[in-house]
Structure 1
Amino acid sequence: MKESYNWILNRLPYTEPFLFVNEIRHVDAKGVEGTYRFSPDADFYKGHFKNNPVSPGVILTECCAQIGLVCLGMYLLGKESEIGNMAIGMSSSQMEFLQPVFPGERVRVVSELVYFRFQKIKCEVKMYNEDDKLVCKGVLAGMIGTANE
């Protein structure tokens, strides 16, 4: 039976329209894999770009951060961590964009943990499209922990 990671999804500090995680396929102490489908009705497509909408790089980065940093960090902190006091923030990003992501496309994010210590988390992330082509890749870092730490 497939393990459920709904406890992580239910504790994410995001809601529509700024939630970019649909599913966590796998997570362990070394990394996480999750998916997101970009709604063709998302407001940012209306102006990016005229008559040829694509997902903005900043949104692709955010999707990678929500899956690759936040979901993994929550897993590493554990089910028993006090989510009400959760403090999350991205401190750095270095991304390379290789393919466009169009409205309605589903992407898969794979994140490998570089380190998690002193509430700082750093990961190497890769995003793939539905054809399993690499869309973007990079290194993201942030802080995650409870606010009283």
Structure 2
Amino acid sequence: MELKDIRAQLPYSKPFLFVDELLHVDENGIIGTYTFAENLEFYKGHFKGNPITPGVILTETMAQIGLVSLGIFLLQNEPTEEAVIVFTSADMQFLKPVYPKEKVTVTSRKIFFRFGKLKCDVVMKNETGQEVCKGILAGIITSKL
């Protein structure tokens, strides 16, 4: 499966698509990037005069790249093409702020994929290679939404 095909199968669209590019995928993990455009709506109120990316958006970006995109790759050999991994839980640590116009790289390492569940150790880094957040994300297989 081509990396561009994985991105095309994501069940999101702008303004809620937080995957610009997928750089690598295999059965053990995935790496992708996203740049937060300065005109994203949530920056208007988070925070006044000092916009930073909300933690829930960072978590969603990590889930779209590190869990759902990886799940699409892992499900490619499943008997049905009508299945998708959906995000169910996160245990996150936020370490540094992410500002408008910042490009982040998300690296996900599969912990396990069995019994309809996918669990991953996911790290987000900024352009200087500093960890901005990390966590354990989990999802389940469900029928396509």
Shorter-chain TM-score tier: over 0.9
Residues 50 and 25 (structure 1 numbering): CA distance in 2 closer, same or farther, change over 3 Å? Answer: same
**Superposition deviation, residue 48 in structure 1:** 0.1
Paired residues of 1:70 and 1:144 also in contact (CA < 8 A): no
Matched to 1:39, the amino acid is A
CA distance in 2, matches of 1:26, 1:123: 16
Summarize the alignment of residues 26-37 of structure 1 with structure 2, pairs less than 5 Å apart. Answer: 26-37=24-35
Misfit runs of 4+, over 6 Å = none
**Superposition deviation, residue 87 in structure 1:** 4.1
Within the alignment, does 1:139 sit opposite 2:131 as a pair?
Answer: no
Q: Which ranges in structure 1 are unaligned for 5 or more consecutive residues?
A: none
2:18 corresponds in structure 1 to: 20
Matched to 1:31, the amino acid is G
Matched to 2:7, the amino acid is L
Paired residues of 1:7 and 1:79 also in contact (CA < 8 A): no
Summarize the alignment of residues 38-53 of structure 1 with structure 2, pairs less than 5 Å apart. Answer: 38-53=36-51
**Superposition deviation, residue 118 in structure 1:** 1.7
Counterpart of 1:140 in 2: which secondary structure? Answer: strand
CA distance in 2, matches of 1:112, 1:87: 18
CA distance in 2, matches of 1:23, 1:48: 26
CA distance in 2, matches of 1:45, 1:60: 13
Amino-acid identity (%):
52
CA RMSD of aligned residues (A): 1.7
**Superposition deviation, residue 121 in structure 1:** 0.3
Aligned length: 144
